[in-house]
Amino acid sequence: MPPSRDPFMAGLGQAVRIGTELLAALIVGGGLGWLADTYLFASGPWGVVAGLILGAIAGVLNAYRAAQRWTDGGSGAES
Amino acid sequence: MENPLHPFELHPIWHLSLFGLDISLNKAVIMMWVVIALAAGLLIMAASSRRFVPTKLQSLAEILVEFIRGIILDTIGKEGMRFFPFVATLFVFILFCNLLGLIPGSYTVTSQIVVTAAFALFVYTMSLVVGFLFHGVKFLGILIPPGTPAWLLPLMMPVELISQLARPLSLAVRLFANMTAGHTVLAVLFGMVLSLPLVIGWLPFAFSVAINGLEVIIAFIQAYIFTILTCVYLGDAINLHGHEAQAH
């Protein structure tokens, strides 16, 4: 029995992932926006605003993709 | 009460410098050497007796090998077995760092973000290199999810770029934060035990014992997540938009 299919470990592993997945994308998005504001365009706060929005989208997308792996191989796989 | 973050501070034990580069020894460096020596020693000992009916140590090592093999086959597919030595080394090193850090008086190397960030950047850079080696310029197509309508591209490309760049960050922060948070909680609880009278002081002590048990589980889980995400990123680079891994 390969323990990677142990449902407890696998489930816990997946669950712990989601939180940081959301946060990291938000930080990267905001950071890129801030960089663009300060060093590239001097575009006021708008780079950070756009970056945070894009980061939030990316975070939700990441969390969604991570969650999608749960159903892969299970019975309720939807694509 | 003592500062609960005090255990994470590092002070040079032996000042050394190489061509002006500060390579002083501190607790974390020595702890890493201990981890490497212990992990390598145990595994070499386990592999030295290749019996048909395995010894206890040998069956532990066999479980470990089967475990990592299962992760790789599940997430990358057969193609990924050539990364087995790297992935196995990563898993064993992080697991031993996490577990040995729980011994009082030792040091948790993975509670330093320098260490976890170095691992995460290395893994991510490796996945990029592997992707470009396997697919050439077509690897940039990883920024375009399959089935995206053309009018959505200006939105999807930055979103995908951010979600790619978030990978090394989330990898590094997750391991570092879990280790630091767990040990801080333990330090706070122990501080309470020392500063409270015995009548109520047993309560945080009981909690600290329970949380120590939880920390052992977290040590396993975090090593497991780091490994499985390494495999997922490598798998994304190898099977570009493919689903070979699921076909397994």
Tell me the per-residue pLDDT of B20-54, one tens digit each, with 9 for 90 and over. 777 777 888 888 899 999 999 988 888 887 777 77
Q: What ipTM was reported for this prediction?
A: 0.71
CB neighbour list of residue B139: distance below 8 Å, 6 or more residues apart: B131, B132, B237, B240
Radius of gyration of chain B (CA): 22
Q: Please indicate whether, in this complex, the C-beta atoms of B246 and A73 are within 8 angstroms of each other.
A: yes
Q: From residue B102, how far is each of A39, B60, B97, B183, B216 by CA, in Å?
A: 44, 21, 9, 8, 8
**What's the pLDDT tens digit per position in B107-155?**
888 888 888 999 999 999 999 999 898 888 888 888 877 777 788 888 8
Report if residue A1 sits inside a domain.
no
φ/ψ region of B26 (left if φ > 0, alpha if ψ in -120 to 50, else beta) reads: beta
Q: Select the residue of B74, B160, B246 nearest A4 (Cβ to Cβ).
A: B74
Domain count, chain A: 1
Q: Please indicate whether, in this complex, the C-beta atoms of B159 and A57 are within 8 angstroms of each other.
A: yes
Whether the CB of A15 is below 8 Å from some CB of chain B: the reply is no
Round to whole Å and give the CA distance between B243 and A70: 15
Best of A28, A70, A71 to disrupt the B interface (most B CBs within 10 Å) is A28
Provide the number of CB pairs (under 8 Å) joining chain A to chain B: 80
Report if residue A6 sits inside a domain.
no
Q: pLDDT band at A10, cuts 50/70/90?
A: low
Q: Tell me, what's the pLDDT at B96?
A: 92
Q: Which of B76, B231, B120 is nearest to A28 (CA)?
A: B120
List all residues of chain A from 30 to 69 with a beta carbon under 8 Å from chain B.
32, 51, 54-55, 57-59, 61-62
Chain B interface residues (partner A, CB cutoff 8 A)? 63, 66-67, 69-71, 73-74, 155, 158-160, 162-163, 165-167, 169-170, 173-174, 177-178, 220-222, 224-225, 228-229, 246
Round to whole Å and give the CA distance between B122 and B94: 14
Identify each DSSP E strand in chain B by its residue range.
17-18, 21-22
Report if residue A35 sits inside a domain.
yes
Radius of gyration of chain A (CA): 17
Report if residue A38 sits inside a domain.
yes
Q: Tell me, what's the pLDDT at A75?
A: 36
Report if residue A51 sits inside a domain.
yes
Report if residue A60 sits inside a domain.
yes
Q: Select the residue of A2, A12, A24 nearest B173 (Cβ to Cβ).
A: A24
| List of chain B residues whose C-beta atoms are within 8 Å of the C-beta of residue A57 | 155, 159
Domain region containing A46: 18-68
Residue B141 has which token pair? 């197509």
**What's the pLDDT tens digit per position in A53-75?**
989 998 888 888 877 766 654 43
Q: Please indicate whether, in this complex, the C-beta atoms of A25 and B166 are within 8 angstroms of each other.
A: yes
Q: Which residue has the higher pLDDT, B148 or B103?
A: B103
Report if residue A7 sits inside a domain.
no
Q: Please indicate whether, in this complex, the C-beta atoms of A24 and B169 are within 8 angstroms of each other.
A: yes
Report if residue A62 sits inside a domain.
yes
Residue written as token pair 């592993």: A13
Report how far Cα B85 is from the mean position of its chain's Cα atoms: 15
Q: Average pLDDT of A16-20?
A: 78
The answer to whether residues B189 and B208 touch, using CB atoms and an 8 Å cutoff, is yes
The answer to whether residues B28 and B109 touch, using CB atoms and an 8 Å cutoff, is yes
Round to whole Å and give the CA distance between B165 and A25: 8
Q: Which residue has the higher pLDDT, A50 or A11?
A: A50
**What's the pLDDT tens digit per position in B87-98?**
999 999 999 999
Query: In sequence order, what are the beta bridge partners of B25?
Result: B14
**In what helix (H) or strand (E) does residue B126 lie, and over which residues does it extend?**
helix B113-135
Checking if the pLDDT of B238 tops 90, the result is: no
The answer to whether residues B61 and B130 touch, using CB atoms and an 8 Å cutoff, is no
The answer to whether residues B186 and B215 touch, using CB atoms and an 8 Å cutoff, is yes
**Residue A32 to chain B, least CA–CA distance (Å):** 8
Round to whole Å and give the CA distance between B108 and B78: 34
